[in-house]
Structure 1
Amino acid sequence: MIAIIGGSGLSQLSNLDISRREVMRTPYGEPSGALQFGHLCDQQTVFIARHGYGHTIPPHAVNYRANIWALKHAGAEAIVSVASVGGIAPDLGPGVILVPDQIIDYTWGRNATFFDGGDTPVVHVDFTEPYDSRLRQRILSAAARAGEGVVDGGTYAATQGPRLESTAEVNRLDRDGAHVVGMTGMPEAVLARELGIPYAAILVVSNHAAGRGSSEHGIQMEEIEATLKLAMGRVHNLLQHFCGACP
């Protein structure tokens, strides 16, 4: 079974044939919402909206541990994360879809491990390649079959949010080697790694990051909404081919 985590712009998976919904209880509190089980084309699938189905949970308040634990114990064998980001690199403008291969964590104060003391031994997981290479290649192959152009590789800067970044902060991220910036990539990726679940991401560039391109003097929120509406249709198409082309 494949798990899909939907971010901003993807609080519902409209092409999922839902068979049941389940509210999961976890040792880490409540997940963002009920898990939706069903089939996406030929693939058994479970979906959860990262920010809640009403998009009411800000990035820093998402219960990442509960979400990942719930998906694992629901039987998910791999996780595909969908998220919106700001483009830092000049060629990553609004509407571009990116499958990242690296991440830099700038978040703070989040519950970032399942092994946080008490009677649990400390566990150091290898995070050299934060995204599963096989799952990434499966996404890229699905994009090719779907006729959707995507960028292969790039570094995701995960910031705290919920505010957007200043121009100076984006300049710093650029110097650090980041290509896009978002708020939900961590600790989601490392928690999946701790539980041994292959994890990869599909990132939709919703806007130029602060100080870049059309956002040189400010980010226009209405433009983000319009961009996501169009781009998420492409993501739906990609996911259908990822799960097996529908009739």
Structure 2
Amino acid sequence: MKKAIIGGTGVYDLYPNCYSKTINTKYGEVVVDIVNINGEEIVFLARHGKGHTVPPHLINYRANLKALEMLGIKYIYATAAVGSCNENYQPGDVVILTDFIDFTKNRTLTFYEGGEEGVVHTNMDNPYCPNLINKFYEASREVGLKVKGEAIYICTEGPRFETKAEIKMYKKLGGDVVGMTNVPEVVLAKELGMCYSAIGIITNWCTGINATDIVLHDIQGSMNKNKEKIMETFLKVFLEKKLDQDSCKCKDSRIKL
């Protein structure tokens, strides 16, 4: 198994015909679903757990990524439900994440904490794999999925939504969308030498950007609008496109001292 999909809010129910596997890592236990499609096994990991039971600030990100490494995963596509602070990106739009700004506060951000693990720095020139991004663009055109554009992702601690003042600041810093889960996920994938790309599904306007309140049914509706096409695009890349880690620098991101 080399390919995995990490699903965020609203994408857990697309593959009923699969089997579950439990992986015991040094950071905790992780349950994944494995789908066999035309002889190719694709791993699916529900970021918040089955039934969306784990809030963003308590997700065991290190266990999740370590479990995927133990399964031999090299390529990861992820979905992320995000709010928009860019008036050009509306609820229901699909964007490709290209960079992030981290405003989390209490999360363990690395596998490398000194001692036996050593001191390791990680290159963040391209946090999201350019090769997977290009393949997603190509496949999205083939399946008829409209990608609205690219976005800089602001990651907040959650689980609360952001204040008007915070969103105003994030927007001034260059953020396009705001979410609660992509950091440290993208960082840990990079530390493990994986190719990782995340697709943002805009579910709502950020606080203060539009007069519309953030409500659950709007979030679910925005997710439902495009989630099947996004998954179809992921699978088209994984099953039909040539992937090669020599065409990017993801596997060489770690700098050990």
- TM-score, length-scaled by structure 2: 0.88
Instruction: Identify if the C-alpha distance between structure 1 residues 141 and 226 changes in structure 2 by more than 3 Å, giving closer, same or farther.
Output: same
Instruction: Identify if the C-alpha distance between structure 1 residues 206 and 61 changes in structure 2 by more than 3 Å, giving closer, same or farther.
Output: same
How big is the shift at 1:237? 2.9
Q: Which residue of 1 aligns with 2:8?
A: 7
Q: 2:49 aligns with which of 45, 48, 52?
A: 52
Look up the SS of the partner of 1:181 in the other structure.
Answer: strand
In structure 2, how many angstroms separate the alpha carbons of the residues matched to 1:159 and 1:93?
20
Kindly indicate whether residue 24 of structure 2 is the aligned counterpart of residue 25 of structure 1: yes
Q: Which residue of 2 aligns with 1:186?
A: 183
Counterpart amino acid of residue 20 in structure 2 = R
Look up the SS of the partner of 2:178 in the other structure.
Answer: strand
Kindly indicate whether residue 89 of structure 2 is the aligned counterpart of residue 82 of structure 1: no
Alignment deviations for residues 111-153 of structure 1 (CA, whole Å, 9 cap, x no partner): 1100012322110010121101101111111111111111342
Q: Which residue of 2 aligns with 1:209?
A: 206
Alignment deviations for residues 80-110 of structure 1 (CA, whole Å, 9 cap, x no partner): 1111000110111101011111111111111
Name the stretch that deviates more: 117-126 or 165-174.
117-126
In structure 2, how many angstroms separate the alpha carbons of the residues matched to 1:226 and 1:190?
29
How big is the shift at 1:168? 1.0
Q: 1:107 aligns with which of 100, 104, 107?
A: 104
In structure 2, how many angstroms separate the alpha carbons of the residues matched to 1:81 and 1:117?
29
Q: Which residue of 2 aligns with 1:138?
A: 135
**Structure 1 stretches of at least 4 aligned residues deviating more than 3 Å after TM superposition:** 40-43
Instruction: Identify if the C-alpha distance between structure 1 residues 35 and 211 changes in structure 2 by more than 3 Å, giving closer, same or farther.
Output: same
How big is the shift at 1:78? 0.6
Q: Do the aligned partners of 1:30 and 1:63 also contact (CA within 8 Å) in 2? A: no
How big is the shift at 1:43? 4.2
Look up the SS of the partner of 1:124 in the other structure.
Answer: strand
In structure 2, how many angstroms separate the alpha carbons of the residues matched to 1:126 and 1:77?
17
How many residues align? The count is: 239
Q: Which has the higher strand share?
A: 2
What is the root-mean-square deviation in Å for CA atoms of aligned residues?
1.6
Kindly indicate whether residue 160 of structure 2 is the aligned counterpart of residue 163 of structure 1: yes
Look up the SS of the partner of 1:37 in the other structure.
Answer: strand
Percent identity reads 35
Q: Which residue of 1 aligns with 2:67?
A: 70
Q: Do the aligned partners of 1:95 and 1:205 also contact (CA within 8 Å) in 2? A: yes
Instruction: Identify if the C-alpha distance between structure 1 residues 52 and 197 changes in structure 2 by more than 3 Å, giving closer, same or farther.
Output: same
Instruction: Identify if the C-alpha distance between structure 1 residues 41 and 96 changes in structure 2 by more than 3 Å, giving closer, same or farther.
Output: farther
Instruction: Identify if the C-alpha distance between structure 1 residues 143 and 43 changes in structure 2 by more than 3 Å, giving closer, same or farther.
Output: farther
Look up the SS of the partner of 1:205 in the other structure.
Answer: strand
Where structure 1 has 5 or more consecutive residues not aligned to the other structure, the ranges are none
Q: Do the aligned partners of 2:77 and 2:234 also contact (CA within 8 Å) in 1? A: no
Instruction: Identify if the C-alpha distance between structure 1 residues 76 and 41 changes in structure 2 by more than 3 Å, giving closer, same or farther.
Output: same
Name the stretch that deviates more: 77-86 or 145-154.
145-154
